[in-house]
Amino acid sequence: MPLSKRLHTCLQFTRGFQKLADIGTDHAFLPIMAVKEGYVYSALAIDNKEGPYDIAKKNVEKTNLQDKIQVIYSEGIKDIDEDVDVITINGLGGRVIKDILLDGDLKNVKRLVLQPNNEASRIRGILHEIGFYILDELVFEENKRIYDLLVLERGVKEYTDLEIEYGPINLTLKPHFFLIRVEKEIVKYEKIMPLVTTKEQQREIDAKIAELRSVL
Ligand SMILES: C[S@@+](CC[C@H](N)C(=O)[O-])C[C@H]1O[C@@H](n2cnc3c(N)ncnc32)[C@H](O)[C@@H]1O
């Protein structure tokens, strides 16, 4: 069962926990590897659609891990149990991940490993509400797409608006693909500029370009 570089990157942060819940598991590749490699003792593979649920169930049976991995047809984190201490949510939009985290009880979860396909800032914006802080942050590339990875643990930290938007660790370490993405955004806004018609829109785009340049 091949694990993409993206999922492999997420998997690394599950090491050493007891019970994983992988939300939006689809094929269940990540929980299967996490259990096989001994990163976690057991796992829940959760999906809210029939097709992915069936595929996850088949894959878990194929690997003969039914006693360690429970496949659940459910919505978000609603059906996780008290033993779950690490959650992964990968390959979904930032807004959907945010809604999943707000719409449930994180119980005894110690770590959240989140890989939004976009709008990571939506997740950073609810850290206070869910009582987690950013332990680590990565920006990496796979198949010419740039992804964020957020590793959160329980605790409270204060973040500025700029840190919520771009990520506090990204702003300090300025990783390569973070800078590439910011540069692309600047080019995108510079291309839009001649097309806007009102002064207000021009001011907004000017301000966004200035903000993007400030984080390079
Ligand atoms: C794009 S796939 C990502 C699969 C895998 N996590 C990965 O990163 O490769 C998204 C999966 O999340 C499931 N999903 C979307 N919203 C969900 C929710 N609220 N609760 C559970 N599963 C969800 C979809 O059915 C789909 O199988």
In sign, the C-alpha dihedral spanning 120, 90, 152, 125 is positive
Q: Total domain count for the chain?
A: 2
What is the arithmetic mean of pLDDT over 149-163?
A: 98
Closest CA to 139 of 117, 161, 156: 117
**Amino acid present at 172:** T
Which residue minimizes the CA distance to atom 15 of ligand 1?
24
Residues 154 and 78 in one domain: yes
Contact call for residues 22 and 53 (beta carbons, < 8 A)? no
**What residues flank ligand 1, with Cβ below 6 Å?**
7, 23-26, 46-49, 52, 75-76, 90-92, 96, 100
> What is the whole-number distance in angstroms between the Cα of residue 1 and the centre of ligand 1?
18
CA distances from 61 to 21, 26, 27, 41, 80 (A): 18, 15, 12, 17, 21
User: Domain span at residue 102?
Assistant: 5-161
Residues 152 and 47 in one domain: yes
Which residue minimizes the CA distance to atom 3 of ligand 1?
91
Which residue minimizes the CA distance to atom 4 of ligand 1?
26
Mutate to test the pocket of ligand 1, among 3, 29, 32, 47 (most ligand atoms within 8 A of CB): 47
* pLDDT tens-digit map of 41-62: 999 999 999 999 999 999 999 9
Q: Is the pLDDT of residue 1 over 80?
A: no
* pLDDT tens-digit map of 4-35: 999 999 999 999 999 999 999 999 999 999 99
Q: Is the pLDDT of residue 143 over 90?
A: yes
**Quick check: pTM over 0.95?**
yes
Q: Which residues contact 77 (CB under 8 A, 6 or more apart)?
A: 21, 23, 46, 87, 100, 101, 103, 104, 105, 106
Residue 143's CB is within 10 A of a number of other CB atoms, namely 7
Residues 49 and 156 in one domain: yes
Task: Give domain status of residue 168, yes or no.
Answer: no
Kindly state the helix (H) or strand (E) to which residue 140 belongs, with its residue range. Answer: strand 132-142
Spatial distance between the Cα atoms of 40 and 43, rounded to a whole number of angstroms: 7
> What is the whole-number distance in angstroms between the Cα of residue 96 and the centre of ligand 1?
10
- Of ligand 1's listed atoms, the one at least distance from the Cα of 24 is 12
* pLDDT tens-digit map of 73-130: 999 999 999 999 999 999 999 999 999 999 999 999 999 999 999 999 999 999 999 9
Question: Which of 139, 161, 183 delimits the end of a domain?
Answer: 161
Mutate to test the pocket of ligand 1, among 1, 57, 88, 92 (most ligand atoms within 8 A of CB): 92
pLDDT band at 2 (very low <50, low <70, confident <90, very high): confident
Spatial distance between the Cα atoms of 114 and 173, rounded to a whole number of angstroms: 19
pLDDT band at 65 (very low <50, low <70, confident <90, very high): very high
Spatial distance between the Cα atoms of 69 and 31, rounded to a whole number of angstroms: 7
Which residue minimizes the CA distance to atom 14 of ligand 1?
24
Residues 35 and 11 in one domain: yes
Task: Give domain status of residue 167, yes or no.
Answer: no
> What is the whole-number distance in angstroms between the Cα of residue 43 and the centre of ligand 1?
16
Residues 145 and 214 in one domain: no
